[in-house]
Amino acid sequence: MCGIAGIYNFDTRNPISSGKLSKMNSSLYHRGPDSEGYFIDGHIGLAHRRLSIIDLKDGHQPMISQNGNIILVFNGEIYNYIELRKELVKEGFHFKTNSDTEVIIAAYEFWGNECYNKFNGMWAIALWDKRINKLILSRDRFGEKPLYYYHNSDFLLFGSEIKAIKQFGIPLEPRLELLEIYLFLTNIPGPDTFYKNTFEVKPGHFMVISSDQITEKKYWDLDLIDEKNKLTNEKFVLEQFEYLLNDSVRIRMRADVEVGAFLSGGLDSSSVVSLMAKNANEQINTFTIGFPNKAFDESELADIIAKQYNTNHHLGTVNPESLNEMIKICNFHFDQPFGDSSAIPTYFVSKFSSQKVKLVLTGDGGDELLSGYNSYLGLKLTQKYNALPFGINKGIPKLINLFLPIFKGKIRYKMNKAYSFTNSASLPFTQRYLHKKPYAPLSKIQELTQPLNCIKIEDFIYDLVNKIPLNDEFYKMMHINYKYDLPNDYLVKVDRMSMSNSLETRTPFLDFRLVELMTLVDKSIKMKGFERKSVLRNTVGKTLPNEILNAPKKGFGVPLREWFKSNENLELAQFEKLTGLLDNNVLNEIIIQNKKGYSDNGNFIWTLIMLESYI
């Protein structure tokens, strides 16, 4: 796991500025504190920061092929590099190192750009091919590893984080027309960024840059088949899933450093730890972050798993006093507005873990792979609710709304959710998504951004949904989770917060073999009745304690509504920049409603705070 950066001048007579390249690379120190390296040849410059995980002695980058034609910097890991190395040795290749980096070079020399389909891993690759004088940028299938680029008529810059591009010295101009989309999604969906002329390489794509053109090509996508011909052989699905998940964990434990695990106490991370224990030769380090607020705390469940599998368990705690520190940390590491507040516990569990290990496995991707989000339950509940007699389902939201003013606090929050569900149940899929997705009502977001000429979120979401080549709402939700939520939110959060602490994270549930299998599985097997993650429960889950299997689902969140409710200093004046852009009356109403306990606006206030710094 590392950081990469580079400069490509379109004018081949224009040499690279080593000073600017060094500044770009230095900004990524946290991604690779172990060493740095540079390659400069005329109008091309590559830079690398290394976090040493595999082949600690000889895996330094930039790495140059034995014939001198290929120069590579890359961030990530190729987990099946041992198998690929054996295959390439049979084809006549010789290797000087034991690193996955050299395997990438040989794979490219043998298969060309078809090599990316051979890789089982996570990566952002920058490769200079001297034979054709072209720079190639490649990104893994799901976007686990980031890769941004900026270009104008003179040059192209790239880096693992936008801050590397900023260090080149060109002012990046914000795109304020994206604010409504950001406030709805809490992120800027790729390939766009919050800045003009700055983009990210799409997951599952590679780019070829030459002196006269930039081309982008897709090498992988979800294998979507006819919805009426999904896999329904449950025995086959369970056998394949169990084998592949175990193998995914096994190859992700390959490292020349000690391997640990994030352990939340949820079903996904508990399953990963159980398989790690099965494949490990020594005691595993596990790491959990708890909260004083028990409604957000799963540390007791994590402790049950740690004892069952005899892990060396470590428990830390996140307190409200951490809030101001986290605002500064998130502003520095995300480089653009990012409002997912689960970045806070992710940062602290990463910081806590990095004191003991350089590498952890996580349960991320499990909800996408197994259709485990509450939104899937919501789809089924919506069908049941809409089957009620017309008078009943129409009258329930009116009844809830009638009694809302009487309550506040936890009861009010639950009633707000019940009203939102019942009031939107009869709407078409896209409108329900618009109604339920954001941390604040869509109407409030639109009122907030009314002074601006923003791209309308309805247009964005309708376009997104209309492009999905599926009819069933369950499979549409799967597609959105994989193609939009993962690369724009969840994987961004984990990458930035772990790498801010120089910690590598690996995600067994995102092995592409598992994803290709589970994408083809019928929803009746993925969710039996109202049982979440049926496939996992009927395989690895059988070895887990009942406390884990029966625990209600919790997100990796923080009690922001309570933190902001008790924060006397949180007032409209704190949003100095936003008050010049957004509707101040609505902004003030959001703060007051949260303080009085009428609405749970904690996450939305965090989203606003994260925006304030980039205006």
In which residue are the tokens 């209309």 written? 466
Report yes or no on 131 lying in a domain: yes
Max Cα separation, the chain?
77
Long-range contacts for 19-23 (Cβ within 8 Å, ≥24 apart)? Answer: 20/167, 20/168, 20/169, 21/45, 21/47, 22/47, 23/167, 23/168
Rounded Cα distance, 552 and 534, in Å: 15
Q: Would 500 be classed as within a structural domain?
A: yes
503 and 445 within one domain: no
In a domain, 568, yes or no: yes
Q: Give the domain extent around 293.
A: 227-370+475-550
Report the chain's terminal Cα–Cα distance, integer Å. 31
Query: Structure pTM?
Result: 0.94
pLDDT band (50, 70, 90) for residue 596: confident
| Burial bucket for residue 242 (CB in 10 Å: 0-12, 13-18, 19+) | middle
User: Are both 62 and 116 inside the same structural domain?
Assistant: yes
- Positive or negative torsion for Cα 48, 51, 57, 58: negative
**Amino acid type, 10:** F
pLDDT for 493 beyond 90: yes
Give me the pLDDT at residue 293, please. Answer: 66
Residue recorded with tokens 């940390």? 329
Phi first, then psi, for residue 75 (nearest 5°) are -120, 125
Listed residues 182, 198, 218: the one ending a domain = 218
Last residue of a domain, one of 525, 550, 575: 550
Say yes or no: 543 and 594 in one domain: no
Confidence class for position 427, pLDDT limits 50, 70, 90: confident
Contacts 24+ apart (CB under 8 A), 396-399: 396/422, 397/422, 397/423
Please report whether residue 429 resides in a domain: no
| Rounded (10°) angle between helices 429-436 and 473-480 | 50
Amino acid found at 450:
Q
User: Which of 218, 237, 257 corresponds to the end of one domain?
Assistant: 218
Report d(CA 9, CA 46) in Å as an integer: 12
pLDDT by residue (tens digit) across 277-297? 999 989 999 999 887 766 666
User: pLDDT of 46-76, one tens digit each?
Assistant: 999 998 888 778 889 999 999 999 999 999 9
Measured distance CA(261)–CA(110) in Å, rounded: 35
Do 59 and 52 touch, CB atoms closer than 8 A? yes
Q: Is the dihedral of CA 588, 592, 598, 603 positive or negative?
A: positive
**Residue 171 within a domain:** yes
Residue 157 in 3-state DSSP? strand
pLDDT category, 412, cuts 50, 70, 90?
Answer: confident
Chain segment 512-538, per-residue pLDDT in tens:
999 999 999 999 999 999 899 999 999
212 and 280 inside one domain: no
Do 149 and 47 fall into the same domain?
yes
CB of 532 closer than 8 Å to CB of 387: no
What total number of domains does the chain contain?
3
Q: What is the mean pLDDT of residues 474-489?
A: 95
Q: Are residues 200 and 75 in the same domain?
A: yes
Query: How does residue 416 score in pLDDT terms, banded at 50, 70 and 90?
Result: confident
Are residues 608 and 488 located together in one domain of the fold?
A: no
Contact 565, 594 (CB under 8 A): yes
**Has residue 103 been placed in a domain?**
yes
Check whether residue 108 and residue 129 sit in a common domain. yes
Query: Is 591 a domain residue?
Result: yes
User: Residue 569: what residue type?
Assistant: N
Instruction: Give all strands of the β-sheet with 70-78 in edge-to-edge order.
Output: 63-64, 70-78, 121-129, 134-139, 205-209, 214-218
Calpha distance 220→222 (Å, rounded): 7
Helix (H, G, I), strand (E, B) or coil at 336: coil
Residues 586 and 499 in one domain: no
Contacts of 118 (CB under 8 A, 6+ apart): 84, 107, 111
* Residues contacting 405, CB < 8 A, separation 6+: none
- Same-domain status, 214 and 236: no
- Residue 250 above 80 pLDDT? yes
Mark whether 176 and 70 lie in a shared domain: yes
Residue 417 domain-assigned? no
Q: Same domain for 131 and 262? A: no
CATH number for the domain harbouring residue 99: 3.60.20.10
The pLDDT assigned to 222 comes to 86
The DSSP call for residue 312 is: E
